[in-house]
Amino acid sequence: MMSELLVITIGAILVNNFVLSKFLGICPFLGVSKKLDTALGMSGAVIFVMTLASLVSSLINQFLLVPMQLQYLQTLVFIVVIASLVQLVEILLQKLSVKLYESLGIFLPLITTNCAVLGAVVLNAKAAPASVQSTWYGATIYGFCSALGFALALILFSSLREKLDLANVPEAFEGTAISLVTAGILAMAFMGFSGLV
Amino acid sequence: MDSLIAVVAVGILGAVLGVVIGVVAKAFAVEVDERIEQVEEMLPGANCGGCGFAGCADFAKGVVAGKAPPSQCPVCAPEDVSKISDYLGIAAEEKEKMVALVRCSGDIPNTVRSLYNGVRDCRSAVLVAGGAKGCDYGCLGFGSCAEACPFGAIEIRDGLAIVHKEICVGCENCVAVCPKNLIVMVPAASEVHVYCNSPEKGAVKRKVCQTACIACRKCVKASGEEDHMLVDGFLVRSNYENPPGPELVEAAACPTTALRVDSEHVKGAYGGEA
């Protein structure tokens, strides 16, 4: 049980990193990685939403969809649930914790329909019935660790891009081109983790 | 039958979630002072931070709360400030518009430089023996200030930062960034400046820069009793309490062209004789 959780943790953060080996969530990965500050804010928001979405969706899947044999509605239901969940959290945050709202506020709507969030939830639902990941706590841990992996990739990449801004880049590679090349090299570096679990 | 179940199930789910969000939104609604929104709309929205607040929204909050006068926004034109003051019913104060001035005229053709192949950033360059320029006090020309300017008012031409004063709003972001402390705020109405900041002796300056101020005092004499120019060691400065007009540049005939009219300086009209 413990070892299985460890496998999920390491696997989600390093080996099957959402951005660098599953290629989910590339849009925020390229969009908000220009500055470390915004990358940190986005990472926080993703961790928050992904953990919560994993928990709620796996509960819905386990106690509503599976008993009613409505698994074929998974994608539809998950999208609706995640979207309204984020909306709810935003309203609550604004009232209850202004500080948290100000630091995460702009990013929350951005990741409502992000493929990384939906990806984590769908992967949880598709996990083998006997595995830890198919239980609600396993799914939550998987969602949290996947988000940590996303945050790791985003923070690494944004630090690289901040350095790149100061470097002498050949004109043809300036801007998005060099960012994509860097992302590719980073993904190759993460391939070194394969076989770890 | 299956499709009917699916439609009903998703319909119920949607309805439940909709009701929940609606109820929560009503129960947890945050009351926002509508004046804050109105004031924010009247502000420039550039979020430059020149007022000392974290962006225009924060400044609007401060103004409505009475923590700051509307005139604290360096970007607002006087009529915008009075509009905000009228809206909030508080008295507007008049404020003189200030713009940034880079006190250096040493572009590439006019200065001695050594080779520098490092990071193209003034604050990095200054770590390597104070930069590659012969003059220790001059503009390095890598444009840290131009990058800091949220309005694009600073242009780097021939390795020299030049402020376009009609674009400059006086937010002072560039002042803090310059590692050589070259940038000062001067009244926008003044037109004549000494584009040099080196306190060295005239001969030393002249060796490394063709357009340095050598403190010959021709401009001081030309201004006569008027006190338009102030002497500070081996450097002369415009007296911004009593600023000189463009005719002084003509009368003084500055031998190194360090004394310049800003509009002509922007056009690149000086420094050719070297």
pLDDT tens for residues A11-48?
899 998 999 988 898 888 888 888 888 888 888 888 98
- Residue A145: phi and psi, rounded to 5, are -70, -35
DSSP SS3 for A129? coil
DSSP SS3 for B260? strand
Q: Which residues of chain B does A96 touch, with a Cβ-Cβ cutoff of 8 Å?
A: 28
Q: Which of B12, B20, B23, B28 to mutate to test the interface with A (most CBs of A within 10 A)?
A: B28
pLDDT tens for residues B211-239?
999 989 889 888 887 788 888 888 999 99
Q: B13: which residues sit within 8 A by CB, 6+ positions away?
A: A77, A80, A81
- Is pLDDT above 80 for B93? no
Torsion over CA: B188, B173, B167, B252 (sign): positive
Question: In chain A, positions 63-82, which contact chain B (CB-CB < 8 Å)?
Answer: 68, 70, 72-73, 76-77, 80-81
Q: How far out from the chain centre does Cα A152 lie?
A: 10
Instruction: Give this complex's ipTM.
Output: 0.72
State the pLDDT at residue B110.
87
Q: B225: which residues sit within 8 A by CB, 6+ positions away?
A: none
Q: Do A95 and B25 touch (CB under 8 A)?
A: no
pTM of the full predicted structure?
A: 0.60
CA–CA distance, B16 with B113 (Å, rounded to integer): 72
CA–CA distance, A79 with A88 (Å, rounded to integer): 14
Mean pLDDT of A72-101: 85
- Residue B154: phi and psi, rounded to 5, are -110, 130
* Bridge partner residues of B101 (DSSP): B184
Largest Cα separation within chain B, whole Å, is 101
User: Quick one: DSSP state of residue A69?
Assistant: T
